[in-house]
Structure 1
Amino acid sequence: MPKALIPLADGCEELEAVTLIDLLRRASIEVITASLKDAPVHCSRGTRLLADCLLDDVLEQHFDLFVLPGGLPGADNLNTDARIHTLIRRLEAEGCYIAAICAAPKVLVENGILKGRTLTAYPGSLAAIDTSHVHLTQQPIVIDGKVITSRGPGTAMDFSLQLIELLTDKTVRDRVEAGLQRP
């Protein structure tokens, strides 16, 4: 069974975080949510989430997918946490899929793993950082090798379904999508 890690930081976009958690679990992917601190996570719209564990508890584990929900200041809180950057580098070296949505691709840009790669992100979320070493597009979802990025809350469901297909197969993705009764 594939295993995914979703770190949760104060200010994360709850629609993205919950959509990722829910859809990946519907696909029988083991999802571990890990908070940066020992307290409920206060999301960008006031929702509180209780993570499965602390990030420190899973720093040495192997994952098939590491996915960063966006939102502000959630993406900034992820970006300033050295443990997140260490995990990104280690998991990328191990061949793990690395994914980010909305403002969270800024963490990957700042980390350096997107050098020379194509990505997408929430409009304006990368304005304050140097993106001269990446190719930024306006596509809803971009897959560049084992790095997957997406634009924002409106793309969260398609992003999650794409991740399911990458971790499992199209049959599982189609089964999960059929259960959602999307038009």
Structure 2
Amino acid sequence: MLRVLIPLAEGFEELEAVTLIDLLRRAAIEVVTAGMVAGPVTASRGTVLVPDTELAAVADQSFDMILLPGGLPGADHLDQDPRVRELLTRHRSMDRYTAAICAAPKVLANAGLLDGRAATWYPGALDPAAYPSVRHRSDAVVVDGKLVTSRGPGTAMDFALTLIELLVGQDRRSEVENQLQREV
């Protein structure tokens, strides 16, 4: 079974995290949520989630994708945690999927993982002039090889469905999307 790691830091964007967790699990993908420390994590608007584990317990495990939810100050906390940067760098060296939404692409940019790549993010989360080697796009979802980024809470469902398609195929994406009764 495919495994996706979603680190949750205090102040994450709940709409993004819950949408991603829910839709990937509907696609029969194993999602492991990991807090930066043990215990519940409070999101940017006060929603409290209890992660499956803490980051230290899974940092040496293998995942098919690492997926960063955005939100502030959540993305800043991820960006400031050296364990996250080390995990992302190691994961990238194994040529596996890395994905980030909203303000979380800043974590990838500051780790040098967006250099020479196309990406999108929440308006104002990153200054394109400060990252001249990143090809900024304003699309809802941008796929550049095994790097996937998205703009924000309003694009979370499209982002999740794109990730499903990349990981388990168009047929499984269509099954999940049809169950949602979504008009596209």
TM-score normalised over the length of structure 1: 0.98
* Percentage of matched positions with identical amino acids: 56
Distance 2:73 2:136 in 1: 21
Change (3 A) 1:128 1:167: closer
CA RMSD of aligned residues (A): 1.1
Is structure 2 residue 80 aligned with structure 1 residue 49? no
Distance 2:25 2:129 in 1: 34
Deviations 1:155-174 (A, max 9, x none): 00000000001000100000
Change (3 A) 1:24 1:170: same
Deviations 1:4-41 (A, max 9, x none): 00000000000000000000000000000000012211
Local SS of the residue matching 1:20: helix
Contiguous gaps of at least 5 residues in structure 1 = none
Please state how far the C-alpha of 1:66 moved relative to its aligned partner.
0.4
Q: Which runs of 4+ in 1 moved over 3 A?
A: none
Is structure 2 residue 112 aligned with structure 1 residue 112? yes
The 5-angstrom pairing of residues 85-96 of structure 1 reads 85-96=85-96
Please state how far the C-alpha of 1:55 moved relative to its aligned partner.
0.2
The 5-angstrom pairing of residues 19-38 of structure 1 reads 19-38=19-38
* Aligned residue number for residue 72 of structure 1: 72
Contiguous gaps of at least 5 residues in structure 2 = none
Distance 2:96 2:127 in 1: 28
Distance 1:73 1:34 in 2: 17
Deviations 1:28-80 (A, max 9, x none): 00000000012211100110010000000001111001000000000000000
Is structure 2 residue 6 aligned with structure 1 residue 6? yes
Please state how far the C-alpha of 1:94 moved relative to its aligned partner.
1.2
* Aligned residue number for residue 160 of structure 2: 160
